[in-house]
Each structure stands twice: as C-alpha cells, then as structure tokens.
Amino acid sequence: MEFDQPAHPGPQLTFAAALPLMGRPRFLGMDLLITVCRILEGTGVVAVMDVDLTTPDESREDGRVWNRPKMPPRVGLIVNGVTVLVEGHDRPAFSATDVARLDFRSWPGGASRVSRTRGYVGITEVNAAGGSSLDHNYDRAAALTVVAAAVTKLVEATAVIWHTSGCALTGEQLTSLVAELAQGKAPVALWLGFPERADGDRGAETRGLYPLLGAEIEVVSPNLPRDTAAKVALDLATEILRAGEPPAHGAVIDYGKNTEFRVLHRPSAGVDSVPAVVLRHVTHSAEPEVTAGAA
C-alpha cells in the first residue's frame, strides 16, 4: 500500500495529555513559564505566555501574588509557535471505566495508582494546525512533551497519559523523553504499547503516532525483548523524521548480531484506516514467508 504522506489535517489530530495527581493542582502560571524556559534553555526555542488563554494568578489587594494559589491554574503558553493550554482540575481525570481502558503495559501497578488520584492537569494543543510538514508536527509533539515535563516539576504527577494512545507513563519516563528531544528523537513512548498477539508474536506498536509521521509503527517478533522492541520503534521513528519517508517496502534493516528486520507497508493493526510501517523480525526459517508479504 502507499505510505500516507503527508498526514491529513483534522480535529482528531489535536495533541493532548492528562497528568493525574494525588493532590490538587496548585501552581502559578509564571512559575510554569519559567520552568518551561529552563527546560528549553540552550535549545534556541522560545516560550511565552498567551495572555488571552491565561487566568491571572490570584493577588492580594496590595497587588502581590499569593505564594499558594487557591484555585486551579489556567495557563496558555506558546512554545515554538505551538499554542498549549494547561488547566488544573480538582477532580479525578478518569473514572474506573476509563482507567480500565488505559494502557499500563509499560508500568506495572500503574492502574492502581491512577485509580486513587484526586485531581489532574490537562494539557491541550489549541488551534491545532496539522498537515504536510513533519517538522511542524514534531514541534507540536515536542511542545506538549516539554510543557508536561514542566508541570511534573511543579506538582507530583502520578502519571502522564497521552490521549490518543491511552499509554500511561511515569513522570520519570517523561523526563528521559524530554532529554532525547534535543537529539532529534521523537517521544515515541507516548504512543507505544506492547500488545498480545493471537499468533504468539511479541513486539511493540504505536497508537496515535500517525499525525507525527504519517503512519503508525509496528515491531513484530516471536521472541524480541520489550526494551529492544521499544528501541527499534524509536530508531525507526527517528529515521523517518530525518529522511522524511520510511524505508522501502521489502527492505531489510540489519541491527547486527544476526538481528534483521524486513520492512512492510500495510494497514495498522491497532488504528483503523491508517497505514503502518512494520518491522518484522526475520528468522532464517520464516524468511520465505516474510518475503511473500506475510505480516
């Protein structure tokens, strides 16, 4: 099938995340802006406050700002041209039914912790402008990731959950993703899951990476460790961002130590009606079947 490039713009491509908290979200908008700027220091990327989206921090009659705000924050930021709205809420982010639908496969015990949260911070892209530029879509994902990381430095976030995928990560995992952004590595873990397959194969697949790359990514193997599958998915996403297109259908990628993957272009197994770039782990006994295009 044809690789769907570029990704098509649409309201479903808005990037958003939720950060469930054990307590209530209380921080100043200026503190958030300062924290974002500290994370971006040395990158050349600029962040500013969007005053039209921001509710002023509570002030005393003499004009001095409270050190401890009484109300949840509502802050608009513009990060590298991407507008992001940050809103705190004094209620749980997810019902028990919602928690059951989230993906905690990379975080054992996460469902129990998220179920006990009392508040959350929502982070949403405003006036999303998707489309043909992979560079712009990368900037969108990076802006949301940086803002989420800044929030975790101001409040104790139990998790970071990217809306499109439903994948739940810890705050520590998000910090490592931000460190990789400066190296041009997409925050693939925000979309990455580890599905159980009926055929017994293992691997990793993304859900919601399509607006960033124009396709989902799948890594399929009968015995590949989870960490290795995640690294392979990350490497492929980084290469697509660098080259602007995926490896050709049928190409073989050599990872050394007799580890090879054959590239397939086919519909995504996890997201309806979008294409996927699949790396299938090649074994010598299965190679004729893979060459024939089996997924």
**Residues 248, 128: Cα–Cα separation, whole Å:** 30
Angle at the Cα of 16 (from 59 to 24), degrees rounded to 5?
Answer: 40
Contact between residue 143 and residue 84 where contact means Cβ atoms under 8 Å apart: yes
Same domain, 76 and 221: no
**Residues 199 and 92 reside in one and the same domain:** no
Question: How many domains does the chain contain in total?
Answer: 2
Last residue of a domain, one of 144, 168, 188: 188
Is 15:128 a contact under the CB 8 Å cutoff? yes
**Are residues 160 and 61 both part of a single domain?**
yes
Structure confidence at residue 64 (pLDDT):
52
- How far apart are alpha carbons 177 and 86 in whole angstroms? 20
Residues 49-75, mean pLDDT to the nearest whole number: 74
**If you average pLDDT over every residue of the chain, what do you get?**
80
pLDDT band at 6 (very low <50, low <70, confident <90, very high): very low
Torsion angle of C-alpha atoms 135, 137, 142, 143, degrees rounded to 10: 110
Q: Is residue 2 part of a domain?
A: no
pLDDT band of residue 201 (cuts 50, 70, 90) is low
Of the residues 159, 188, 217, which one is the last residue of a structural domain?
A: 188
**76 and 37 part of one domain:** yes
In a domain, 6, yes or no: no
Q: Look at residue 8 in the predicted model and tell me its pLDDT.
A: 39
Q: Given a cut of 50, is residue 101 above it in pLDDT?
A: yes
* 71 and 209 fall within a common domain: no
pLDDT band at 68 (very low <50, low <70, confident <90, very high): low
The reply to whether 104 falls in a domain is: yes
Could you tell me if residue 4 is inside a domain? no
Give tens-digit pLDDT for 216-269: 899 988 888 877 888 888 888 878 877 878 899 999 998 876 789 999 999 887
Residue 41 lies in a domain: yes
Q: In the predicted model, what is the mean pLDDT of residues 23-33? A: 93
Higher pLDDT, 166 or 98: 98
Q: Is the pLDDT of residue 84 over 90?
A: yes
In the prediction, which pLDDT does 252 show?
92
Higher pLDDT, 268 or 76: 76
* Region 129-133 average pLDDT: 59
Same domain, 151 and 39: yes
Render pLDDT for 156-196 as a digit per residue (tens, 0 to 9): 888 888 877 788 888 777 777 777 776 667 677 777 766 66
At 195 the pLDDT is 65
Is residue 276 situated within a structural domain? yes
Whether 91 has a pLDDT exceeding 50, the answer reads yes
pLDDT level of residue 72 (50, 70, 90 thresholds): very high
Last-in-domain residue among 155, 170, 188: 188
User: In terms of C-beta distances under 8 Å and separation of at least 24 residues, what long-range contacts does 129-135 make, across chains too?
Assistant: 129/9, 130/7, 130/8, 130/9, 130/10, 130/13, 130/211, 131/6, 131/7, 131/8, 131/9, 132/6, 132/7, 133/6, 134/6, 134/212, 134/213, 134/214, 134/240, 134/241, 134/244
User: Which of 28-32, 109-113, 121-125 is predicted least confidently?
Assistant: 109-113
Structural domain boundaries, residue 279: 194-291
pLDDT at 53: 94
Q: Which residue has the tokens 């990379």?
A: 106
- 146 and 255 part of one domain: no
Is residue 168 located within the same domain as residue 237? Answer: no
**Does residue 5 form part of some domain?**
no
**Residues 181 and 238 both lie in one domain:** no
Asked whether residue 172 falls in the same domain as residue 206, the answer is no
pLDDT at 204 over 50: yes
Distance of CA 190 to the CA centre of its chain: 3
pLDDT band at 292, cuts 50/70/90? very low
DSSP string computed for the chain: -----SPPP-GGG--EEEEEESS-----HHHHHHHHHHHHTTS---EEE-TTTPPPPPB-TTSPBPSS-SS--EEEEEETTEEEEEEEESS-SS-HHHHHHSB-TTSTTHHHHHHT--EEEEEEEES---SS-HHHHHHHHHHHHHHHHHHHHHS-BS-EEETTT-BEE-HHHHHHHHHHHTTT---GGGGEE----TTS-EEEEESS-HHHHSSEEEEEESS--HHHHHHHHHHHHHHHHHHSSPPPTT-EEE-STT-EEEEEEEE-SSSTT-EEEEEEEE-TTTHHHHHTT--
Give residue 103's pLDDT.
Answer: 79
pLDDT at 102: 85
Tell whether 30 and 72 lie within a shared domain. Answer: yes
